[in-house]
Amino acid sequence: MNYILLILGILLIVMIGIWIYKLMEKGIHVWGKEYIKGAISNRFRKRPQQTVHIMFMFTDHFEPMWKKPPIEIERQRMNDWVEKYPVLASKHQDSDGRHPQHSWFYHFHGYRPEHLQRLSCLCFSGFGEIEVHLHHNYDTSAECEEKLNKCKELFSQHGGLITCEKAPKVTYGFIHGMFALDNSNPKHCGVNDELQILRRTGCYADFTFPTSLKACQSAKINSIYYATDDPKKPKSYNTGIDVEKGGKETGDLMIIQGSLSINWRFWPRFFYPYLDTGIITHDSLPVKERVD
């Protein structure tokens, strides 16, 4: 009996060790404090009595040219979206009777006029919006700003990034390639004043996070907030001021984060609970156990 207890104790220690290692690998030392504070706050938060509207928001890192296939493969990928997505989306409506709106964060360096034109047709048919997805390495501030302005010029030629107003303007949502916003990973950015550049070029909000890359993930999680750029330092989005109903805009850029959590109800790897960064892939499906 003592031997069985000893073995079980050792197994428990090993499992805890694996779990701690995995969480450290995913950066819990960066965001763990905020996670615990949020969990405690949610436990004691008063539940609203009226109807709560829940919105699921997805940022598609859209790259028809992924893995650099022949142009025929790119076109087939686009065909799938143009032909199949409207059929799928039209089958579903929210409480206002509106079908899903997809956000294509199109990769700037994969620009092809024919692809943008086809996406634009989907958008004008009411099926989504085109936004900006940029990878850049070791850029200067001037180079980064030039790329973003060029991106606006090209995408807007196809009707992308343009608001529906009497006096339309070009504006965009943004996600950073490799999650390296504001030089959090110099290899994939290089620009400490990126938040200011984004604001200057018409970005209304950043949608990059969360991520399991600990160098890039902010200490602030599960938030919509304003970040103020320090042009002399990287990762100025690490903290910020929460957006509030009736509040005033502040700082340089609004950061809209997806959910980052430890899902205690979902153990796909058996040894440790699921660290959920909100990603949707073939092996991270949108199952009901992932909804809080």
Instruction: Give the start-to-end residue ranges of the domains of the chain.
Output: 58-92+99-205
154 within 8 A of 160, measured Cβ to Cβ: no
Tell me how far apart the alpha carbons of residues 198 and 134 are, in angstroms, rounded to a whole number. 11
Question: What is the per-residue pLDDT for 19?
Answer: 77
pLDDT band, very low/low/confident/very high, at 266 (cuts 50, 70, 90): low
Question: What is the per-residue pLDDT for 49?
Answer: 86
- pLDDT tens profile 162-207: 998 899 999 999 999 999 999 999 999 999 999 999 999 999 999 9
289 within 8 A of 240, measured Cβ to Cβ: no
121-125 mean pLDDT: 95
Tell me how far apart the alpha carbons of residues 190 and 183 are, in angstroms, rounded to a whole number. 5
Mention every residue, 6+ apart, whose C-beta is less than 8 A from residue 139: 147, 189, 190, 191
Closest residue by Cα to residue 159 from 133, 136, 128, 134: 128
Tell me how far apart the alpha carbons of residues 266 and 23 are, in angstroms, rounded to a whole number. 15
Q: Enumerate the β-bridge partners of residue 274.
A: 263
Question: What is the per-residue pLDDT for 264?
Answer: 76
Question: What is the per-residue pLDDT for 272?
Answer: 64
Tell me how far apart the alpha carbons of residues 288 and 163 are, in angstroms, rounded to a whole number. 34
Tell me how far apart the alpha carbons of residues 82 and 54 are, in angstroms, rounded to a whole number. 27
- pTM of the predicted structure, to 2 decimals: 0.91
- Helix or strand run (H / E) with residue 133: strand 128-134
Contacts from 240-249 at CB under 8 Å and sequence distance 24+?
none
Half-sphere exposure of 272 (CA within 13 A, CB side): 17
- pLDDT tens profile 207-252: 999 998 889 999 999 999 999 999 999 999 999 999 998 999 999 9
Tell me how far apart the alpha carbons of residues 248 and 252 are, in angstroms, rounded to a whole number. 13
Question: What is the per-residue pLDDT for 28?
Answer: 86
Task: Please state which of the ranges 39-53, 106-120, 192-206, 267-281 shows the lowest mean pLDDT.
Answer: 267-281
- pLDDT tens profile 59-74: 999 999 999 999 999 9
Q: Angle 232-207-254 (CA atoms, 0-180°, nearest 5)? A: 60
Question: What is the per-residue pLDDT for 174?
Answer: 99
Which residue has tokens 């796909």? 268
